[in-house]
Amino acid sequence: MTPEAFEAAVRTLFAEVAAMTLATCAQGRPWASDVYFAPDGWKLVFFSSPASRHCRNLEANPACAATIHPVVASWRDIHGLQLEGRVEPVEGLIAMAQAAAVYCAKFPFAKALLEAPGESAAKMARVRPHVFIPQSVRLTDNRQGFGTRFLLRLHDGRPLGPPERDSGN
């Protein structure tokens, strides 16, 4: 798969799928949470409460994994992403504003929640932006044949080379 085809497939999934499943682990106890996300290059922005279990886990252990995939009716149509990386809270007013802009571009309803007076605004005030920084992105696409997988390795949000055929190890 060419780098352009890989990136196009990933960008399509980033655009069409609203939520990623974020897998965290702390004190030997795994946890998975669905969070809405918005891409910022290869990095993924999401908002969550620092009091949530997944954010408490990430504070203790920022290493995590995520999946992004559409709902399909047949195994032949399974396609999606498996990501490994780390999560960092977004710090600083400018970075927080940029994260909010990226997020609101994908989810216009979030802007309305941020601007709304009352209960919705109060709830939004309790969440903070975070960024998932992938170290690897695996694209699985059974539409190209059962178990077809490609792997892209990244460092600080930049590809380390072209995607490789992935044997599943």
Query: What CATH number does the domain containing 132 carry?
Result: 2.30.110.10
Mean pLDDT lowest among 15-29, 58-72, 87-101, 123-137: 123-137
Secondary structure, 3-state, the chain: CCHHHHHHHHHHHHHHCCEEEEEEEECCEEEEEEEECEEECCEEEEEECCCCHHHHHHHHCCEEEEEECCCCCCHHHCEEEEEEEEEEECCCHHHHHHHHHHHHHHCHHHHHHHHCCCHHHHHHCCCEEEEEEEEEEEEEEHHHCCCCEEEEEEECCEECCCCEECCCC
Number of domains in the chain: 1
Q: What's the whole-model pTM score?
A: 0.90
pLDDT higher at 13 or 114: 13
Structural domain boundaries enclosing 42: 3-165
Say if residue 113's pLDDT is above 80: no
Which residue carries 């990244």 as its tokens?
154
Q: Kindly indicate the confidence band of residue 127, based on its pLDDT and cuts at 50, 70 and 90.
A: confident
Q: Note the pLDDT of residue 120.
A: 53
Pairing of strands 63-68, 43-48: unpaired
Q: Note the pLDDT of residue 121.
A: 52
